[in-house]
A and B are shown apart, each in its own frame.
Chain A
Amino acid sequence: MASSGGTRTEASTVTDPAWPNAAGLSAPAGGPVPIRVLCLGNDLLADDAFGCLAAEHLRRRVPGAVDVVFSTDGGFSLMDHLEGVKLLVVIDVVMTGKADPGAVSVFRGEDLRSAPGGSPHYVGLFESLALGRMLGLPMPEEVVFVVVEAADCLTIGGAMHPAVRSALPAVTERVEEIVGR
């Protein structure tokens, strides 16, 4: 891959809270990153904005060596955030319907059935990871998920559920435990 020169200067970290970076061209240019906290979400979609909120908060809390990224990316675009990272911590909201809004869960890659195959038509983080490994790209050695149960991710400009918002300290604590080891 040719370097894209000056166009990638704002690539990997969130620098402006009002315009969280999601350029999707982060890892290879800046060399390997030992730890990345990848916050997924959409700041326009109610509870889905949690990832953005978490990124802003975590940037001030975690050690400087930890790369904090907010991204609205989906599908294979996520691969851009995976390359060259050793430990990847993913923050996202989920809607399992089995927990109250705001409930925080932590699970590791190996806890999940990582083999893709459930749906041929949807491609997400696991597929990106599996594809990256198959193609010999430098994929994370370890992936940990910190997720918050959401109530609404479909209302454009919707407010965040108070319980989801108040999960921030718990999420921060878990992330600090994980990256602080």
Chain B
Amino acid sequence: MTDHAKTEPDGRHSRRITIDPITRLEGHGKIDIFLDERGDVERAYFQVPELRGFERFAQGRLAEDMPQITSRICGVCPTAHHMASTKALDDLYKVEAPPAAKKIRELVYSTFMAEDHALHFYFLGGPDFVVGPSAPAAERNVLGVIAKVGVEVGTKVIAMRRRLRELITLVGGKVIHPVLGLPGGVAKPIRAEDQARFQEVAGDAVEFAKFTLQIFEDVVLKNADYVNLIVSDTFTHRTHYMGLVDAGNRVNFYDGLVRVVSPEGREVAKFAAPQYLDYVAEHVEPWSYVKFCYLKPVGWKGFVDGAESGIYSVAPLARLNAADGMATPLAQQAYERFYETLGGKPVHHTLGNHWARVVELLYAAERMKELADDPGLTDPNVRTLPTEKPREGVGIVEAPRGTLIHHYQTDERGVIEKANLIVATQGNAARIAMSVEKAAKGLISGKEVSEGLLNMVEMAFRAYDPCHGCATHSLPGSMPLLIRIRDREGNTSGVLRRDSDGSVHRD
């Protein structure tokens, strides 16, 4: 209806703007923006609904069921939970998987990462960059992306995704309910004919990733406005960065040590999964039920960036920053170009996540190819039987959205007494809160809130691709927003509603 809506001219009260989705809505992010007396942003809060009750739910269950159970919690990244949980079981039973089992796990995991990153880049991030942040709302969606890149590219993405998923199903049993991982290995070896299929698809996936990187170059990097937006101060935070690295400090999604670098890019921590509690702590705020992760040795200093603040971030940009490079040749080239273009390491520009995701897509595809070509992949020895009594285990993988930690404590029979999950979005929660506030401060002032400004605020958190709990199959499917402007007494002085068709109404 209208592109803009003014808040009530009310200079005497602090007001609260709530950007709140309204249909199955709990599942989505919610933003509260508090305005001061002049109508400028005082504070802004981003809330991600968090699933409740996991710890209680896990108590009394067999630890060995957790890879199946935890993968069912979330329809978005079941494979990540499955793999983190399987690795936690390795640690719980102090058993090491045979080489072929590790290769199979990493192969399936790389396939999953490639699928997830491809979908995110084209269909979720695409509206911001491929279509553009200032395009009309009606075009800022997946159809707008396809209109811009062409139907054949869309068909290519869908076909690639389907083939990658078929591979996961081939080995994992089911995509949403994988039955691949067991403590000490995997459920079944890979047959020669399966290996051949992986080789074929992996080769195509590498080509697909190269093609995607080219699209990024053509559409984003050749557009000065986009590059300026990426490096703009509004979307920049100097925090610590965390990610798994291999023995050569290169990005690894499946295994390795967790490395943390300072805002200057200096290594400040490197630890194995079981030590995570020495490094990661959780901060609680009265206004949110999300636990904000921070670096324990540095401490919680509030929502501020810099080396003195324990706030860190995870996800593609953080992984690239926390590593010294990529383990595959083409991804390494893309990595170098990324840092050359954006002014050296580390890159602090949140929107760099979209580019970093494409670099990782290329790595995932190349890594798939390496593992698919490995003659040891079809070794029938894929299980080391556990003999130790269980007590405690921690497993860490890099989920598409960042470092994912599963931690179980059990009795001698392997029945869970205590369980803890730290999901990627928690690792980013503090930085996301800062991003949203900074974007809101830079974009909203003088009592006027426009839809375009809200888009920019949303962009600030979309780059992290925060996980929205149960909202995996939202209905009607689009995300209507409700913005309430309130005074200190809680009286609503104005409502701005954005419907699922993108139209904006003022009630």
Residues of A within 8 A of B (CB): 1-2, 4, 7-8, 19, 21-25, 40-45, 48, 71-80, 90, 92-97, 112-113, 115-128, 130-131, 134-137, 145, 147, 153-158
Contact = CB atoms under 8 A, between A and B. Distances in A.
Given A113-B499, A126-B478, 13 more contacts: A7-B170, A45-B470, A72-B72, A73-B472, A78-B473, A120-B140, A121-B462, A122-B471, A122-B479, A123-B123, A135-B146, A136-B151, A137-B158
A74 B474 contact: yes
6 contacts: A75-B472, A97-B22, A116-B478, A119-B481, A126-B500, A127-B143
Contact of B22 (A96, A124, A128, A131): A96
A47 to B, nearest CB: 10
Interface residues of B, number: 74
Contacts of A131: 123, 142-143, 146, 154, 158
A135 B75 contact: no
A79 B131 CA distance: 22
A118 B499 contact: yes
Interface stretch (B100-108, B159-167, B223-231, B312-320): B159-167
Interface of B: 21-28, 49-54, 56-57, 69, 72-73, 75-76, 119, 123-124, 127-128, 131, 137-143, 146, 151, 154-155, 158-159, 161-163, 165-166, 169-170, 174-177, 455, 458, 462, 468-481, 498-503
B290 to A, nearest CB: 12
Contacts of A2: 163
Given A72-B75, A74-B472, A153-B26, A130 B56 contact: no
A121 B53 contact: no
Contacts of A75: 76, 119, 472-473
Task: Please give me the 3 A-B residue pairs with the lowest Cβ-Cβ distance, nearest first.
Answer: A124-B477, A74-B472, A119-B479
A1 B176 contact: no
Contacts of B175: 22-25, 77
A44 B498 CA distance: 31
A71 B155 CA distance: 24
B138 A117 contact: yes
A114 B463 CA distance: 26
A108 to B, nearest CB: 12
B5 to A, nearest CB: 16
B162 to A, nearest CB: 6
A22 B177 contact: yes
A157 B169 contact: no
A23 B473 contact: no
A30 B42 CA distance: 57
Contacts of A40: 473, 475
B170 A42 contact: no
A127 B165 contact: no
A121 B49 contact: no
B22, B161, B501 interface centre (most CB from chain A within 10 Å): B501
Given A7-B166, A117-B502, A123-B124, A42 B477 contact: no
A115 B501 contact: yes
A38 to B, nearest CB: 10
Contact of B155 (A4, A78, A95, A135): A135
A154 B470 contact: yes
B27 A153 contact: yes
A130 B143 contact: yes
B26 A117 contact: no
B174 A22 contact: yes
B139 to A, nearest CB: 8
A42 B75 contact: yes
Contacts of A48: 470
A147 to B, nearest CB: 6
Contacts of A130: 142-143
Given A93-B24, A155-B53, A127 B151 contact: no
B52 A42 contact: no
B394 to A, nearest CB: 20
A154 B52 contact: yes
Contact of B471 (A19, A71, A74, A145): A74
Nearest to A22: B176
A80 B475 CA distance: 17
Contact of A154 (B26, B177, B503): B26
A118 B176 CA distance: 27
A147 B477 CA distance: 13
Contact of B498 (A25, A93, A118, A154): A118
Contacts of A127: 123, 141-143, 477-478
A10 B137 CA distance: 41
A22 B165 CA distance: 12
B479 A115 contact: no
Nearest to A28: B162
A94 B141 contact: no
A42 B470 contact: yes
B57 to A, nearest CB: 3
B25 to A, nearest CB: 6
Contacts of B166: 4, 7, 25
A157 B475 contact: no
A21 B177 CA distance: 8
Nearest to B151: A135
A117 B477 contact: no
Contacts of B470: 42, 45, 48, 153-154
B176 A154 contact: no
A117 B177 contact: no
Contacts of A79: 158
Given A1-B159, A76-B161, A23 B119 contact: no
